[in-house]
Chains A and B, each alone.
Chain A
Amino acid sequence: MQKIIVGIKRVVDYNVRVRVKPDGSGVALDGVKMSVNPFDEIALEEALRIKERGEATEIIAVSIGPDDAQQQLRTALAMGADRAILVKTDQAIEPLTAAHALLAIIKTEQPDLVIVGKQAIDDDAAQTGPMLAALWGRPQATFCSKLTISGTVATIVREVDAGLETIEVDLPAVVSADLRLNEPRYVKLPDIMKAKKKQLDVTDLATLGVSIDDGLKTVHTEAPKARAKGIMVKDVAELVDALKKKGLVS
Chain B
Amino acid sequence: MSKILIIAEHDGKKLSSASARCVTCAAQIAGGEITLAVFAADPAPIAQQAASLTGVAKVITITDARHAQSLAAVLAPQVVQLSADYTHIFGASTTFGKDLMPRVAALLGVPQISDAMAVESPTRFKRPIYAGNAIITVEVAANRKVVATVRTASFEAALDGGAATISAVNTDAPAPTHTRYVSLSAAASDRPDLQSAPRVVSGGRALASKDNFQLIYSLADKLNAAVGASRAAVDAGYASNELQVGQTGKIIAPQLYVAVGISGAIQHLTGIKDARTIVAINKDAEAPIFEVADFGLVGDLFQILPALEAALS
Question: Which A residues lie at the B interface, using CB under 8 A?
Answer: 12, 14, 17-18, 20, 27, 94-96, 99, 118-119, 121-135, 138-143, 145, 155, 158-170, 173, 178-180, 213-224, 227-228, 230-237, 239-240, 242-243, 246, 248-249
Contacts and interface: CB of A to CB of B under 8 A. Distances in A.
Given A124-B247, A223-B135, A249-B312, A243 B130 contact: no
Listed residue (B106, B107, B176, B187) with the most chain A CB atoms within 10 angstroms of its CB: B106
B256 interface: yes
A248 B144 CA distance: 45
Given A127-B112, A213-B111, A236-B304, A221 B134 contact: yes
B228 interface: no
Listed residue (B98, B234, B290, B297) with the most chain A CB atoms within 10 angstroms of its CB: B98
Contacts of A143: 95, 98-99
B137 A220 contact: yes
A127 B102 contact: yes
Q: Which 4 A-B pairs have the closest CB atoms?
A: A163-B186, A134-B106, A131-B106, A216-B111
A96 B279 contact: no
Given A159-B242, A242-B295, 6 more contacts: A99-B106, A130-B99, A130-B102, A161-B242, A163-B185, A163-B187
Contacts of B240: 163
Nearest to A237: B311
Interface stretch (B20-28, B40-48, B54-62, B68-76): B68-76
A216 B138 contact: yes
A224 B132 contact: yes
A234 to B, nearest CB: 8
Contacts of B223: 249
A14 B268 CA distance: 13
Contacts of B109: 96
Contacts of B278: 227, 230
A170 B179 CA distance: 7
Contacts of B129: 27, 122-124
B292 interface: yes
Nearest to B188: A163
Nearest to A214: B141
A179 B229 CA distance: 15
B295 A179 contact: no
B95 A130 contact: no
A219 B297 contact: no
Contacts of B231: 179
B136 interface: yes
A18 B136 CA distance: 13
B137 A218 contact: yes
Interface in B275-304: 277-279, 290, 292-299, 304
A137 B308 CA distance: 55
Contacts of A161: 94-96, 195, 242, 250
A138 B178 contact: yes
Nearest to B100: A130
A216 B140 contact: yes
Contacts of B215: none
Listed residue (A20, A128, A215) with the most chain B CB atoms within 10 angstroms of its CB: A215
Nearest to B141: A215
A213 B105 CA distance: 13
Contact of A170 (B106, B178, B250): B178
B273 interface: yes
A199 to B, nearest CB: 30
A222 B102 contact: no
Nearest to B222: A249
A186 B2 CA distance: 51
B124 interface: yes
Contact of A239 (B72, B136, B184, B279): B279
Contact of A230 (B107, B133, B199, B296): B296
Contacts of A130: 72, 99-100, 102-103, 106
B133 A17 contact: yes
B121 to A, nearest CB: 11
Given A179-B231, A179-B248, A248-B277, A218 B138 contact: yes
Contact of B273 (A95, A134, A166, A224): A224
B295 A243 contact: yes
Interface in B82-123: 94-96, 98-100, 102-107, 109-115
